[in-house]
Every structure is written in structure tokens, then in C-alpha cells.
Amino acid sequence: MIQFPQARYRLLEQPTPLAPLARLEKRLGRSGLFIKRDDHMPIALGGNKLRSLEFWLGAALEENADVLLVAGAPVSNQCRLTAAAAAIAGLDCLIVHNDAETDQTRRSSFLNRVFGAEVRFVGAMCEDTRAVRIEEIAQELRSAGRRPYIVGSAVVGALGYAVAAAELLSQSEASGYPIRHVILPGSMGPTEAGFIFGNALLGNPFDVHLVSVEYGQADLAARIARIFGELQHYTGKPDVKLDDGRVHYHMDYLGPGYALPTTVGENAILTLARTEGILLEHTYTAKPFAAFMDMAMDGSIEQAEGLCFLHTGGVPTLFVQNELFETI
């Protein structure tokens, strides 16, 4: 068990499931394949950001905030889960979408309003400009007597996946599943760096494989190293070291770019759906699962060294991706 002194608001009372992929094993002709179901959470269709939100909410309540302020695209899983978490914690939620308001974007943001969030569309803009706009809105709220907390701190959110690493190890040991390799998406960094930090705290029982869905290797590795360093300082654990030999970067699955479909990604979605009844989506999970299947089949990892796919969720995005499929 990993514990931190930072405040944590519990949203998840039970570990997420860890299960063998028995039908996929039969399809691929090998054993030792597992999935950690962080898509299988009881709140707002689940997803990895709920683990981060436990610590973001903890920090917000510690600061006596009365409104959560979060930004993202209309289909953002982080926005949806923040709206739900705010409702549970009794806080208001203001969501800022960096997109134009249209019938389509309003439909995409529908669940945010179901959870009671106020939604503002501020037009298309890059992430840096959006960050400036969020600070401006936060200041407007303060001037009106509100106490906003801006959701999204990488180092705070990363704590959730340091805890997840310990959860996975505990489940693996209790079940007897011989998990050695963990595969997850490589993107903004908090989930990945948090898991790697937790793995280091545990003595590096896992080899961690990051399959890029957004950045080149140098950029992704720099993000991981930066957040890992911030975690050392934030948790008061400077002696915990990043072992580069236990972190592996896979860059061959990105295809034309972030959120853009690939043939192998589509095959991964259909294969998992048609063997295990589990859904993936093109942006974050299909490409890493394609890598997972290749690693299972290419002989690079022995069957005694189990592979675990960490499913980070995001499945609601699939409902706006139907036009991205070529074969169905």
C-alpha cells in the first residue's frame, strides 16, 4: 500500500477489476494476458481521471474551494468526470470548452450539464491560450466572491496512479497472476509518471511500456521525467529514482497523429470487442492495445512474464468516432 500525506477525497471504494483475457489468449495462442479495468468504475462511465480527481478534490477542499474550474474539448473525459465528482463533493463546476458552440458540441457536452455543471464555449484555441483564459475566468470568479480551484495540476493528479501501481501489485500477488509488463498510453504524462513513480516506490516490480498516442519520444520522456521530479519534491521522497531501464517507449503506433485512427488501432478495437466484449476508442486506448497484442505475439516477452493492459477508459468518446472506422 502506498499512502501520501496529501489530502484525498475518496471516489473509489473498491479496486478496479484485474482479469485474465482468456478468450483473447485463445485467439492469439498464448497465455499470460491480463487487463486492469480502469474503464470499469462506478462513477460517470469511469476512466483514469477519477483517480486523479481524488487528489484534485482533496486539494480543492483543503483550500476551501466552492467551485471546480476545468477546461477541455466537449467530449473530454476529464470534464465529464470532474462534473460528476463536483456533484458528489457538493461543489459547483464550471467547464470551459475551447470550441465553438454548435448543436454538435452541445450534444457532446450533454452529460456535463446532466451532472449540473455550467458550460462555457470560448471558441477554438490552443492549449496555452486556453490556460490563460482559464486563469482569467478564475480571477473573474474570485472578484465575484467565489473560491475556484483549477483542476489539472499534473503533480497532484499523478498521485492517483502512484496509488494504482500499488493496487495492481497487490491484486497480482493475491491472484497469483504473474504480471511483469504493464502497457498504457503515453500522452500528457500525469497518469504515466504517477504509475512509474508508484512502481519505483514499490521497488520496480513492473516494466512499464508507454505507447505514444500524442508526442515524439523525446517530448514524452521529458514530460515523464519532469513530473517524476515534481513528485519527488511534492511527496518528500527525493531518494525515489526514475529507472529508465524499466520504462520502455513505443513510438510506432501513433500513425498520422493524436486522435487520428490507424488500421491497427481499428483492428485492436474490433478484436477486443469481439473476444472479450470490452470497448476501446481511437484516441487513447486502441493504439496501445494494438501494441499489447503485438508484444503478445512477437515473442519479445515470454509467456511466464505476464502482460497487463491498463485500460484508462475514455469509452464514451467512441460514440462520436463512428465515422473513423473503415471496416464496419
Tell me the per-residue pLDDT of 17-60, one tens digit each, with 9 for 90 and over.
Answer: 999 999 999 999 999 999 999 999 999 999 999 999 999 999 99
CA dist., res. 254 & res. 216, Å (int):
9
- Banded pLDDT at 303 (limits 50, 70, 90): confident
- Banded pLDDT at 1 (limits 50, 70, 90): confident
CA dist., res. 324 & res. 313, Å (int):
19
Domain boundaries, the chain: 18-47+154-324, 66-146
CA dist., res. 59 & res. 204, Å (int):
28
- Banded pLDDT at 156 (limits 50, 70, 90): very high
High-pLDDT (> 90) share of the chain, %: 95
Region 313-328: mean pLDDT is: 88
Query: According to the CATH classification, is domain 66-146 in 3.40.50.1100?
Result: yes
Write the DSSP string, 191-250: HHHHHHHHHHHTT--SEEEEEESSS-HHHHHHHHHHHHHHHHHHHT-TT----GGGEEEE
Q: What is the pLDDT of residues 86-131, one digit of tens each?
A: 999 999 999 999 999 999 999 999 999 999 999 999 999 998 999 9
Cell of 59: 486539494
Specify whether the CB–CB gap between 224 and 199 falls below 8 A.
Answer: no
- Banded pLDDT at 269 (limits 50, 70, 90): very high
Cell of 48: 483514469
Question: What is the distance between the terminal CA atoms of the chain, rounded to a whole angstrom?
Answer: 44
Length of the chain in residues, anyone? Answer: 328
3-state DSSP assignment of residue 275? helix
**pLDDT for position 181:** 98
Q: Which entry of 76, 108, 109, 172 is annotated as an active-site residue?
A: 76
CA dist., res. 289 & res. 265, Å (int):
8
> What's the mean per-residue pLDDT of the chain?
97
**pLDDT for position 149:** 99
Give 210: exposed, middle or buried? Use CB within 10 Å, 0-12, 13-18, 19+.
Answer: buried
3-state DSSP assignment of residue 9? coil
The residue written with cell numbers 529507472 in the block is 243
CA dist., res. 162 & res. 202, Å (int):
10
Specify whether the CB–CB gap between 174 and 148 falls below 8 A.
Answer: no
Cell of 181: 509488463
**pLDDT for position 82:** 99
CA dist., res. 148 & res. 151, Å (int):
9
Q: What is the pLDDT of residues 202-232, one digit of tens each?
A: 999 999 999 999 999 999 999 999 999 999 9
Q: In this model, does residue 326 exceed pLDDT 90?
A: no
CA dist., res. 147 & res. 150, Å (int):
10
Q: Which CATH number fits domain 18-47+154-324: 3.40.640.10, 3.40.50.720, 3.40.50.1100, 3.30.450.40?
A: 3.40.50.1100
33: left (phi over 0), alpha (psi -120 to 50) or beta: beta
- Banded pLDDT at 66 (limits 50, 70, 90): very high
Nearest to 95 by CA among 108, 82, 107: 82
Region 266-288: mean pLDDT is: 98
- Banded pLDDT at 64 (limits 50, 70, 90): very high
Query: Which amino acid, 209?
Result: H
Write the DSSP string, 126-192: -HHHHHHHHHHHHHHHHHTT--EEES--HHHHHHHHHHHHHHHHHHHHHHT--EEEEEEEESSSHHH
Measured CA distances, 321 to 80, 109, 290 (Å)? 17, 15, 18
- Banded pLDDT at 324 (limits 50, 70, 90): confident
**pLDDT for position 328:** 85
CA dist., res. 194 & res. 230, Å (int):
10
CA dist., res. 37 & res. 19, Å (int):
8
**pLDDT for position 177:** 92
Q: What is the pLDDT of residues 230-263, one digit of tens each?
A: 999 999 999 999 999 999 999 999 999 999 999 9
Is 76 an active-site residue?
yes
